[in-house]
Chains A and B, each alone.
Chain A
Amino acid sequence: MAKRKRHVLALEESDDDDDDRLPLSLSSQKSSQDSRSPFERVEEDMAFLQVDSTRDNRQDSDNLWIDKFRPACVSDLAVHSKKVGEVRQWMETQIDNPLGCSCKLLLITGPAGVGKKTVVRVLANTMNAELCEWTAPTPVLWKEHLHNDTLGSKYSSKLKDFETFLDKTTKFPSLPLNAPVRRMKFVLIDDVPLVNGEDKKRQLLQSLRQLLAGAKFPTIIVVTDVADDGYRGSSMARCMGEIVKTLESGGASKIAFNPITVNAIKKVLANLVKAKKCRVPSEMVAEIAQTAAGDIRHAILHLQFLCLNSPKSDKSESRRRKRQQVRGASDDEPPKEQYGSKCGRDHILSLFHALGKFLHNKRVADAESESGEKLSCPLQQQYQRPPLQMKDPELVISQSHAEASTLVSFLHENVPDFVDDDAIEDVADIIQYISDADLVGARFSWQSRGPLLDSGWTNASQLGEAAAASIAARGVLFGNTHPAPRRWQTLRSPMLWQVERSLSSKKREIFASLRDSNIGPVEQATEYIPFLRNISAFTRDAWKPRSPKVITSAADECDEIEDDF
């Protein structure tokens, strides 16, 4: 309670202070909403519940098509009707039978820009239900924080805010029910705070669990998939995964949204074009839809950008050039290829997608390859392969945005599963290529660090990275002449990482145990420790068998004896 009071204090103070951005943004939101909000009696603290009614916001954001043409009814939605139906069903049960549902939590997952929130908003709208949205307050920058601190206001983290919010939704259940209008109320949580570190994560999970147990309104949590973009976001992905798992195990229903189909996007775009009366050829629309990778938000933004009118004249050279381009786009016939390929959302393949391509090694069947182009210099029989059924491996690698070492590790980990069990020769070749890749990568990243190339070593190491990835991918493709029969195979994440991690901690342990200068770490690991295990396993000495502490205690004893001398 004390904390909350302090926060309120901060709000009041900040009203006079223009520089104080965090509280200011909160308070301004509050004041602007209060006039429109149906819950004027909501206490000060409830300012966190920003009540969102989509229609009201329109004037503010007229210039963005995604806001302007936000779907108003279910038929406008591009999302697959089955998914919409699922959400609707859940919401209806909540309305019809508010007490009968064991769990008042719905989890919607899916990639970015597939309309997760929009579906909820539209449905709530059509059902005449109230939607309370939690959006995170503007984050506080460190500088601001310092400034605030001197003014006496305390920094409150996103996590803290979130907790407070959850706290409130469980603690003030009577509020909306007592409201004069008997509208059903849904809480929409869009932005689960991202947390770093085990402690914070546990804290977050704890509060979510509380929500599960004690939510008084039906609550919808929207989680954007991050797991897809491979290992780089792994800590984030893992955290998200854990949140999803916690919620699911707590009985929350889960609906996973898929990327929106190309056709659906095309339809929406075509309607937009008609509504705006801009002249965009249908091939263009098709291409935008294609490159959007299921992200309808992006597709609409892209279309709007294409249809932009040229900006007012500006004399600077760069602007003029840009304008020419833009005008080119808005003219009757926009250059066809230029835009679709350049401004399209980067076609990001997930790392796993790329790995699958390499490991499955799809090739054109023999008969077809005969008719294909002949090489000018024929290769020996053993080096001939049918053409690949994929784009250039290098292109696939660059689209996967994976680091070379990651890719190589993944290939190494998984490749034995994808080769026929009789073909050890193939695996031998492949591993050889992987070791080549390691050499190439090592060579560039290492030598360039030396005095020889003081400048430009980053380029060299980038080249080495690219070459290493290419060697590994192509080696896997080339070497695997007897692919295993296709079946469902899961990809493992490389054990190597785990090994490396535990190796370094083990190394530290061994270094720490090296009290005696007479032996080096290698001897300690290969001779002393193993023999000590043997020796101590049979004695009733103070040494505890097979525990890592053995060595330290042994060394301690040695020291003591030496001191006695």
Chain B
Amino acid sequence: MAPSQQWVEKYRPKQVKDVAHQDEVVRTLANALETGNLPHLLFYGPPGTGKTSTALAVTRELFGPQLYKTRVLELNASDDRGINVVRTKIKDFAAVAVGRGVSDYPCPPFKVIILDEADSMTEDAQNALRRTMETYSKVTRFCFICNYISRLCKTIILCFRIIEPLASRCAKFRFKSLNQDVMHGRILHICSEEGVQMGSEALATLSRVSEGDLRRAITYLQSATRLYGSSITSKDILSVSGVIPDNVIQSLLQACTSGVFDQAQKEVTNIIAEGYPVSQIFSQVYDHVVESPEISDEQKAKICQRLAEADKCLLDGADESLQLMDVCSNTMRALCNMTQECSYV
């Protein structure tokens, strides 16, 4: 049995110009590739929009497969990236002088350190990193990748601002969320390569559930193919994506509208027994509530506030059924205009 390859890896763009939808980024980087001069990079944007792929493709094109290992250090969230690693591993790598290049590739005289998911690094580590950046910026380029720039430590951002005027060697790129056409294009390409049949309805479902995240879309596609063979329907996509069927959400909201507590409780018990992830329920209930024309703004506000709180509680490890129950009870009170406050406290 051959080890299966993830399609996400298999169809990762090999060259910068293959990166979908991020035209501005591609243009700037293509220019950098021609001159062989790469600025410090900061990529940010929603997941699955090609940040990591771009970083990998750029470095690969710069150094070629031979030098890639010695010139590029890739660290992501699952590596240990505490302050010790910054002090030792990163610093050591950054400090080493570069050797000669290889023909066929630009091989500029510097190394690249890619820090994937930089926003999950500890603050101490980020601060330590800043020193390293300032000291070795001549021989080492840093490439930060993160989802939210606001989560990145202030010093790093400051660092970007400081270096910027000096060398104009810093570039911030925002990666846009992929629109449906681009997504369809990529998916259909993979489908034809892999011999997968997919109707337009299934395609629409796939792009809906993956919410502009191409990586997720490809993963769903591969999972569906594995489980259900080469002909994929919309239902198959739904089942692998873990998205909860609409009717479940509908009946839950209906029970809330009815104002009968026991009915809501029954729905909750059912959902838990079916094993649906409650965080997913929350996000779908949220979509429904926000889009619903029948619910007043005040009601929406009340419902969403509790949803947000409950979602945080889940992250803290709270019990799913109790949180869902509480959300339902709160939603019911909002929808039926019952009093929100606890009356017996």
Contacts and interface: CB of A to CB of B under 8 A. Distances in A.
Q: Do the two chains touch directly in the complex (Cβ atoms below 8 Å apart)? A: yes
Interface of A: 451-452, 454
A526 B236 CA distance: 36
8 contacts: A451-B82, A451-B122, A452-B122, A452-B123, A454-B82, A454-B83, A454-B122, A454-B124
Contacts of A454: 82-83, 122, 124
Q: Which 8 A-B pairs have the closest CB atoms?
A: A451-B82, A451-B122, A452-B122, A454-B83, A454-B124, A454-B82, A452-B123, A454-B122
B213 to A, nearest CB: 28
A442 to B, nearest CB: 12
Contacts of A451: 82, 122
Interface string B119-132: 00011100000000
Interface string B57-83: 000000000000000000000000011
A444 to B, nearest CB: 16
A452 B153 CA distance: 13
Contacts of A452: 122-123
- Tell me if A's interface is mostly helix, strand, loop or mixed: helix
Nearest to A450: B122
A158 B124 CA distance: 52
Contacts of B82: 451, 454
Nearest to B125: A451
A451 B82 CA distance: 7
A454 B125 CA distance: 10
B119 to A, nearest CB: 14
A543 to B, nearest CB: 32
Contacts of B123: 452
Interface in B81-133: 82-83, 122-124
A554 to B, nearest CB: 29
A452 B122 CA distance: 6
Given A452-B122, A454-B124, 6 more contacts: A451-B82, A451-B122, A452-B123, A454-B82, A454-B83, A454-B122
A163 B122 CA distance: 60
B132 to A, nearest CB: 17
B232 to A, nearest CB: 34
Contacts of B124: 454
Nearest to B81: A451
A394 to B, nearest CB: 29
A452 B121 CA distance: 9
Contacts of B122: 451-452, 454
B90 to A, nearest CB: 16
A452 B124 CA distance: 8
A451 B122 CA distance: 7
A485 B82 CA distance: 57
Contacts of B83: 454
A454 B87 CA distance: 14
Interface string B265-290: 00000000000000000000000000
Nearest to B121: A451
A452 B82 CA distance: 9
A451 B120 CA distance: 11
A454 B86 CA distance: 14
A151 B123 CA distance: 59
A244 to B, nearest CB: 48
A479 to B, nearest CB: 14
B160 to A, nearest CB: 23
A454 to B, nearest CB: 6
Nearest to B344: A425
Nearest to B124: A454
A451 B123 CA distance: 10
A105 B122 CA distance: 67
A452 B83 CA distance: 10
A451 B81 CA distance: 10
A452 B120 CA distance: 11
Interface string B188-230: 0000000000000000000000000000000000000000000
Nearest to B82: A451
Interface string B250-266: 00000000000000000
A66 to B, nearest CB: 54
B184 to A, nearest CB: 42
A454 B82 CA distance: 9
B77 to A, nearest CB: 12
Interface string B287-301: 000000000000000
Nearest to B80: A451
Nearest to A453: B124
A433 to B, nearest CB: 15
A481 to B, nearest CB: 15
A454 B83 CA distance: 9
Nearest to A425: B345
A451 B86 CA distance: 13
A228 B206 CA distance: 71
A451 B84 CA distance: 11
B158 to A, nearest CB: 21
Nearest to A455: B124
B320 to A, nearest CB: 15
A395 B123 CA distance: 36
A228 to B, nearest CB: 41
A235 B115 CA distance: 54
A452 B123 CA distance: 7
Nearest to B123: A452
A350 B186 CA distance: 74
